[in-house]
Amino acid sequence: MEEKKVAVFCSASYTIDPLFNEAAREFVTKAASEGFTIVSGGTIKGTMGVISDALEQCGGKHIGILPRFMTGLEHKGLSQTIWVDTMSVRKEMMREGTCAVVALPGGVGTLDEMIETHTLKKLAQYHGEIFVLNLGGFYDPLAGLLDYYVKTEMLDKASRDMVRFASSVEELMEMLVKLK
Ligand code: AMP
């Protein structure tokens, strides 16, 4: 069977609501048990570290892509560690060959990764799905901004709908398994 890869964009912060990390752990464990390979930033930091620990524990396949300047931050339990020169190349490589990208609750790094993917999909340069885990309404302001763009005709409705929001891990998994 063809390997299905999913890129996960998530927080590098250590001090976010633990519920977000719990959901991240649950999501990657379930995705791995459905046979998906997870691609992430691969560091030990924040939610990235949490998903790396979870995937190591459950034996899930996990590819980490890191810029060389983050040497020392790599998680030792990755199935594969890929070193790149820049954050831009890292984003490109994280997306490469994936059937979906998933933005978990995160900060500007996560937003940057997700929005760049959205722009590429709009331009037919990315063909996977874009899922956003809107846990506890964390991404309501982003959904509101995208709606505002549609209202002001900065974004067409079809492109707006390329970003698919899930309000729970269960809903996210339902969307993901359809890609198998
Ligand atoms: P943020 O959402 O701002 O916490 O950034 C985390 C996301 O951006 C991850 O998906 C990483 O790929 C990338 N990133 C940004 N800053 C860092 C960092 N200090 N360490 C590791 N990854 C980072």
pLDDT, tens only, 84-138 = 999 999 999 999 999 999 999 999 999 999 999 999 999 999 999 999 999 999 9
pLDDT of residue 2 exceeding 90: no
Q: What span, in angstroms and rounded, lies between the C-alpha atoms of 173 and 64? A: 21
* E strand or H helix that includes residue 94: helix 87-95
Ligand 1 centre distance from Cα of residue 10 (Å) = 7
- CB burial of residue 13 (10 Å; 0-12, 13-18, 19+): middle
Question: Do the beta carbons of residue 34 and residue 177 sit within 8 Å?
Answer: yes
Ligand 1 centre distance from Cα of residue 73 (Å) = 12
Q: How far lies 76's CA from each of 48, 52, 72, 81, 117, in Å? A: 12, 9, 10, 9, 27
CB of residue 44 inside a 6 A radius of ligand 1:
no
CB of residue 139 inside a 6 A radius of ligand 1:
no
